Amino acid sequence: MSNEIPHFLREGYLTVDELFEMTPKPSEERLRMKPVAVPECPQEIPCTPCKEVCPVNAISMPTPNDRPVVNYDKCIGCSLCVQVCPGLAFFMVHYVGDKARITMPYELLPVPKRGDEVILLNRVGEPVGKGKVTLVIPREKSMGDTAVVTVEVPMELAWDVRSIKVPGDGEDD
């Protein structure tokens, strides 16, 4: 066992390469079929809300300390795992035409509205473009304590965008 501290712990974010070392990438065919849950949960910690809330048992964890594994064929794209993950580590990805829809937890204010244009932020928190909000599940209607936002992004940013900034919510809009 290596004593080296993993990149994601040193820097505070997962790279796309680190993600796909942990979790297999869903096939393009599956990504086009309907939204699919993608766990971005790199640590083995005792946590099972995603597994417990999944209505079709698509998420497996042999022990509570294991990382979640999603059976992409069983996932129905309901987003309950995104809503309940206390680590904000679940996302949904769906390819629609030449765009991708990313469903993500969103704990900041203001919460955007459907149709809003937002600034897309990459895994490091840097602006990488603009996207359109297609769905909002407000905190009050979420199964967890977190609002959930779906944003449409350019296809090439599907695996990079992991947050948004709502214009008008502060400095340098």
User: CA quadruple 38, 104, 157, 17: dihedral positive or negative?
Assistant: negative
Neighbours of 125 (CB within 10 A): 11
Contact 60, 68 (CB under 8 A): yes
Average pLDDT of each block of 10 consecutive residues along the chain (173 residues)? 80 94 96 98 93 97 95 98 96 98 96 98 97 97 94 98 87 53
Whole-model pTM above 0.75?
Answer: yes
Contact 91, 149 (CB under 8 A): no
Helix-then-strand count for the chain, H and E: 5, 9
Say what the pLDDT of residue 170 is: 58
Q: How far apart are the C-alpha atoms of 41 and 21, rounded to whole Å?
A: 12
